[in-house]
Amino acid sequence: MIEGMGNGLRTSVVRKVCKYALIYFIVVVGLIWTLFPVYWMVKTSFTPDKLMYDSKPELIPSQVTLKHYRELFQTTEFMGNIKNSLYVSLLSTSISLAISIFGSYSLTRLRFRGRRFILNSIIISYLMPAAVLFIPMYVLVSNLGLNDNKFGLLVIYPTFIVPYCCYMLLSYFRQIPLSLEEAAMIDGCTRLQTLWKIVLPIAAPGIAVVASFAFTLSWNEFLYALVVTSSPSQQTVTIGINSFKFSDSFMWGLLMSSSVIASIPVLILYLGAQSFVIGGLTDGGVKY
């Protein structure tokens, strides 16, 4: 009997080891699959031109160079593209988030005529592809006199960021108990004070996530930026990266180095938002 229990225990241990070994194997393969393109981008940005086109490229380069970064900073207007993207993305995200917070809160807390129509319109707007709208948007921006101007993108970007933010924030606001707001109103808070002191702190993790994705949508947007802006001084980072491709000729050194630089602001944003999401989980549940 004791021998049987020992065999059963060993079998259980072996199964558990095999289970965790399989899990770790899948995780490692997934990480390699995800991170290898990023590694190759960084590696190529430091690879000299004479080694870049080898038929058997090295996994770890035997030589590195900063030539592509020096050329990027000294002979191109890419840093101006970075500034334009930061300007447009930050303003678009801020404007869209402010509109979405008030809109989503109203749609989840207030009852008014046309509420269902607005909810359906948000979903339809969120699903509308950019390729359908870029011609009307170009006509609108041209009529406003903002053609070939980064300010024109501030008119266009909220049209697809606001539906996304509203669609996401609706679910966060619906999960907040009404009893917290009712208790705050009994204590004398107005509707706006309740939103500011109770709802927003509780929804802070969700708002941080939505803001991160909204910024990324603006930062990575290509079609509208290509249609609206034509001068290098007004173009965004995605157009700047695309400018290093001529017909079927690719300037791989500049393409990869500019892609590395363009990835840094988004990486910093996600690292910062991660800590904010964790910290915001415990905020807002106290009485003010």
CB of 162 within 8 A of CB of 148?
Answer: no
* H helices, E strands: number in the chain: 15, 2
Q: What is the pLDDT of residue 79?
A: 92
Which structural domain range is residue 225 located in? 75-280
Per-residue pLDDT of the chain (288 residues; tens, 9 = 90+): 555 555 666 677 778 888 888 999 999 999 999 999 999 999 999 988 888 877 777 888 888 889 999 999 998 899 999 999 999 999 999 999 999 999 888 888 888 888 888 888 888 887 888 778 888 888 989 898 888 899 999 999 998 899 989 988 888 888 888 888 888 888 888 888 888 888 888 888 888 888 988 999 999 999 999 999 989 889 999 999 998 987 777 888 899 999 999 999 998 888 887 766 555 444 434 443
Q: Residue 245 phi/psi, 5° resolution?
A: -125, 120
Q: What is the pLDDT of residue 129?
A: 81
Residue 70 forms part of a structural domain: no
The amino acid at residue 180 is L
Residue 286 forms part of a structural domain: no
222 and 123, same structural domain?
Answer: yes
User: What is the spatial distance between Cα 157 and Cα 132, in angstroms, rounded to a whole number?
Assistant: 15
Q: What is the pTM of this model?
A: 0.83
173 and 84, same structural domain?
Answer: yes
Q: Which residue has the tokens 């359906």?
A: 120
E-strand ranges in 183-239 read none
Q: What is the pLDDT of residue 9?
A: 60
Q: How many CB atoms lie within 10 A of CB 108?
A: 19
67-75 vs 252-280: helix crossing angle, rounded to 10: 90
* Domain of residue 236, CATH code: 1.10.3720.10
Residue 168 forms part of a structural domain: yes
CB of 38 within 8 A of CB of 227?
Answer: no
Query: What are the CA-CA distances from residue 277 to residues 105, 212, 270, 286 (Å)?
Result: 20, 11, 10, 18
CB of 242 within 8 A of CB of 222?
Answer: yes
Q: Residue 247 phi/psi, 5° resolution?
A: 55, -115
86 and 208, same structural domain?
Answer: yes
Tell me how many domains the chain contains: 2
